[in-house]
A = this chain, B = another copy of it.
Amino acid sequence: MLSPNQIVEMMMEKDAFSSWMGINIEKIELGSSVISCEVKEEMLNGFQILHGGISYSLSDSALAFASNSYGNKCVSIETSISHTRPAKLGDILIATCKEIHRGRSIGIYEVSIKNQDDKLISIFKGTVNISLEEW
């Protein structure tokens, strides 16, 4: 059986968009994950602040890593995000995913992104379907 870290390694390998974002894996445990990246020029929108799509993408990756850590493949069903504070060029985004509920077929996770000053950038909720297929 694969460990949570081995599963995430397999997921990250060949994940072109996570590479493009420059995602760092900080910590992976059963049902939780901490990942980070730095805001770079190409991630900005017309207001010169971080495009909300990047916060979503980082949160979605944190969700994928946390929910798949048990060894069963999980697919996201529904996700929502609120952007609470703008992030700017050079900021470090730290996404922490924790498990709210894990039933037989459904898992619910929350991801908060904070910046280097521990200020909340966004809050994300994701619901996944837990399949029987294993990594």
CA distance A56 to B112 in the complex (A): 17
Given contacts A78-B82, A103-B84, contact A42 B16 (CB under 8 A): yes
**How would you classify the secondary structure of chain A's contact residues: helix, strand, loop or mixed?**
mixed
Report the copy number of this chain in the oligomer: 4
Interface range on chain A: under 10, 10 to 19, 20 to 34, or 35 or more?
A: 35 or more
> Mask for A50-85, Cβ within 8 A of B = 1, else 0?
011110111011000000000000001111111111
> Mask for A4-40, Cβ within 8 A of B = 1, else 0?
0000001111111110100000000000000000000
Question: Which residues of A are at the interface with B, using a C-beta cutoff of 8 A?
Answer: 10-18, 20, 41-46, 48, 51-54, 56-58, 60-61, 76-85, 100-101, 103, 105-106, 108, 110, 112, 120, 123, 125, 127, 129
